[in-house]
Structure 1
Amino acid sequence: MLTSLSSACTQTGNVVEAAPPDAAVTASPSAAVVTDAAGEPVTIEDTSRLVTLGGPVTEIVFALGAGNKVVGVDSSSIYPEEATQLPQVGYQRQLAAEGVLALNPTLILATTEAGPPEAVAQLKDSGVTVLILPAAESVEGAKAKIRGLAQALSLEAKGEVLIQKLEIDLAEAEQLQAQVSSKPKVMFIYARGPGAVNVAGLETAADAMIRLAGGVNVAQDYEGYKPLTAEAAVAAAPEVLLLLSRGLESVGGKEELLKQPGLAQTPAGQSGRVIAMDDLYLLGFGPRLGQAVLELTRELHPEVGSKE
């Protein structure tokens, strides 16, 4: 999932082992009651046909071993591979209720990123059970998503196994960070083509990941994203450029990236220190969060060495 363009990095061990499908999962023996993002209780009685909206939601459901019950996903559900073979209902932020309901789901699972509000309201009014969980991009938010979905599917024990693995990886990342005193300056670049290059500020998933991996986000004076400018890039002087894999591809690779305004004049540009990671792996805050933090920690702090 992680590709470093400045050094080789193993890609083994990057997959959360999904729990094996459980025959007992196909029907809930009793109703589950889960508190949604609005603080309201949602009673779940039938989990036989699931539509999962949002890459992290889909990934968690599959990791819990309930992927055999998923009948439809949104377009951001790119992992695991099996999910990409299922019928799609469009992008989670631009849903059409009719397309979702056409799959005859008994339960729709989503986060607060699902929209537009009118479509979500239609889904709720249809009579199909809809569970919307917080989309918080934090360690605790990831745990809450796992626990909420595990509870909804009556798979609490399997959920705790995923959380334990996440915590083990995070603890290892913290141990590695404790061995170094440096906090490399990182610029996260969100690119969707040469003419659409933005830099992540505070209150973003990228900012959270940089901090979790022991780095410092160079964009500290704004929230969200702003377009890249030569002046800002040179002034920020990042030591590492971090991108999504598809974003790096969209600008034509590393050489073309460094032709963007000001980047060649930065320490990162001069050393060629560019890291690209899979979109959902880096920013999904799902069951592989701990693995992603650990991988990024090793890349930002090469002095601690790569995993053998």
Structure 2
Amino acid sequence: MPFVRRLEKPARSRMLLPVVLVTTLLLCACSTGQPSDGASSSGSASASAAGGSCADASGTQLPLSEVRASTPPKQLTGPTTACLPSETITALSPAPVPELPTTVVDNQGTSVTVTDASRILALDMSGTLAATVFALGLGGNVVGRDISTGFAEAADLPVVTQGGHTLSAEAILALSPTVIVTDSSIGPWDVLLQMRGAGIPVVVLTPERSIDNAGSIVQGVADALGVSSAGATVTAEVEARIAATETSIAALAPADRAARVRVMFLYVRGSAGVYYIFGAESGADALITSLGAIDVASEIGITDMRPMTAEAIVAAKPDVILMMTKGLESVGGIEGLLEKVPSIALTPAGEKRRIVDMSDYDVLSFGTRTPEVLDALARALYAPEAAARTSAATP
């Protein structure tokens, strides 16, 4: 009888990524492809008015530990697009060999036995699960992807979602997967039940995404695929990189709370008329505080996500507005945002055009790329001149 492993639920849930709530805010309807990140900025944090583009950026960056802020963060002006230091996934080498069969009890309490990991689908709203499979060294076994999985190694895989993030039963069955690893952020659930009915093991992990549970996400995927030891190795490596990145951020961020940058996360889909503020327990709060900044939405008592109001924006007095790149594009860039939400112009962030944007599927996609997300946002907040990659050919 195979050993039954119970996939651990995260002990702390206050930093739930609102992927299900985002779905209800028409993310599917407003984005039919993987959004591009943006290369940013000059010393004054200049970038494209509608968000930059990281897709064509190349070259190298100084390690974050060597980056120095030349200007106090509250004095910076202009927009910046945060780019991941690398668009690739570093895979465990040599690749582990799955020890199968393995039985796990997933996040919904369902006992699932996996006997074959040769054809894997890893599907969720943020692309975190597929990135984890690749980091574990099993990327060669992945046969398809969701629309959120857009890193280079997976770019040529067939997409099994349609109209955004809706799973297609026909597309999935055409790939003959031997195991599906997913969570409740993507659906419809009837499709996943249909896959189980077709005899495909479906392991449902937690939809929570936070800095604290990055390791448990890795371990959950590893356990489901029969590579638990590899999961422990990758978890230790990710957690060590997170700690090192946080140490570097602490050296960049002002020690005095009064000098810390005040940040508000706005979720915007202009074409759908959706304008929300993310506050405490939304996931954005954890990200902002990990950057040594102040989450002003939490400060004024906003929990989860609330419809944007002029009163809340003015009362919060943000120094920086943090947004998803596609969201900024959907309102016509900086000037369009200020036109549609004039109260932003009454804040320090609006007065200085201090908008930081990042790829929709990177900015809250905690997991193996958490260190890179923190790195990119720290550069954008404190040293925007270091956010753009420097060409190796530059003298």
Match of 2:105 in 1: 35
In the alignment, what sits opposite 1:250? Answer: 330
Q: Distance in 1 between matches of 2:322 and 2:266?
A: 6
**Which residue matches 2:264?**
187
Distance 2:352 2:192 in 1: 47
| Alignment partners' CA distance in 1, 2:190 and 2:108 | 16
User: Does residue 279 of structure 1 match 2:360?
Assistant: yes
- 1:74-105 Cα distance to aligned partner (Å, 9 max, x none): 22222x22323222221686334344223211
The answer to whether the 8 A contact 2:195-2:202 is kept is yes
Residue 160 of structure 2 corresponds to which residue in structure 1?
89
TM-score, length of structure 2 as denominator length: 0.68
Gaps of 5+ in 1: none
Take 2:84 and 2:144, find their aligned partners in 1: how far apart are those partners? 29
Q: CA offsets, 1:158-199, max 9 Å, x none?
A: 434433343233223432454422342211111222633322
Identity %, equivalent residues: 36
1:126-141 equivalences under 5 Å are: 126-141=198-213
Instruction: Measure, in 2, the Cα distance between the counterparts of 1:87 and 1:302.
Output: 38
TM-score (normalizing by structure 1): 0.85
Give the match for residue 61 of structure 1. 133
CA distance change for structure 1 residues 145 and 20 in 2, over 3 Å: closer, same or farther? closer
**Amino acid of the structure 2 residue aligned with 1:82:** E
Match of 1:212 in 2: 290
Report the secondary structure of 1:33's partner residue: strand
Residues of 2 paired with 1:216 and 1:169: CA distance?
Answer: 23
- 1:8 CA drift (Å): 6.9
- The answer for the alignment partner of 2:231 in structure 1 is 159
What secondary structure sits across from 2:302 in the alignment? coil
Larger CA deviation: 48-57 vs 80-89 = 80-89
Distance in 2 of aligned mates of 1:209 and 1:23: 31
More relative contact order, 1 or 2 (CA 8 Å, 6+ apart) = 2
Cα distance change of structure 1 residues 118 and 59 upon mapping to structure 2, 3 Å threshold:
same
1:44 aligns with 2:117: no
Q: Is the Cα–Cα contact under 8 Å of residues 93 and 113 in structure 1 kept in the other structure?
A: no
Partner-residue secondary structure (3-state), 1:127: coil
Deviation of the 1:247 alpha carbon: 1.5
Gaps of 5+ in 2: 1-36, 48-60, 62-82, 391-395
CA RMSD of aligned residues (A): 3.0
Contact 1:37 1:112 in 2 (8 A): no
